[in-house]
Amino acid sequence: MKLFEETVESQVLFQGKIITLRKDKARLENGKTVNREVVEHPGGVCVLALEPDGTAYTVKQFRYPFAEVVEELPAGKLDGPEDHEKAARRELSEEVGAEAGELIYLGKLLPSPGFCNEVLHMYLARNLRHGPQHPDEDEFLEVERTPLPTLFERVMAGEIVDGKSVATILKGMEFLRREEAAK
């Protein structure tokens, strides 16, 4: 098996500010043709911003699709073909008012690969310098500072449910554990 599908037809159904929705026809390995719905997304970043005392920043904001306030790590979408490290620095500055002296790449995450091409890039930020917070004009959020072990416990208890934040907290904790073990 090659595990491959060939796009034979593609039609844009919707072009929005953030996403594009396509309906494709794809040819399978066995020659049959199937329909595929694809959401195109520019991708994004998520940042675990850590202070020397072991506290990390989260933001609370109203998330319209769920009609509720969701607690997340600082994050945001890429602006077009923007470099993801640059985007991580921008989002950290906008949402928390911090600049990272050290920014460590923790890897990428495919949040919904069955229908969406979004790629999220995860970072650990340390050696923070603080300045003014400057969120986007349509962005209203509250910044919180919580001990990282408490965030981990809240992830495990199902209190923090944003996928990119869950993955970044878990990867960040493991990175720090391995770093400490190597000393």
Question: Does 6 participate in catalysis according to the annotation?
Answer: no
Cβ atoms of 119 and 110 closer than 8 Å: yes
Whole-angstrom distance between the N-terminal and C-terminal Cα of the chain? 45
Query: If 0-12 CB within 10 Å is exposed, 13-18 middle and 19+ buried, where does residue 120 land?
Result: buried
Cβ atoms of 37 and 21 closer than 8 Å: yes
Q: Which one from 29, 68, 94, 137 is the annotated catalytic residue?
A: 137
Query: Residue 29: what are its φ and ψ, rounded to 5°?
Result: -55, -35
- Nearest 10 degrees: CA dihedral of 109, 110, 111, 114? -160
Beta bridge partners of residue 147, listed in sequence order: 55
Catalytic (active-site) positions: 137
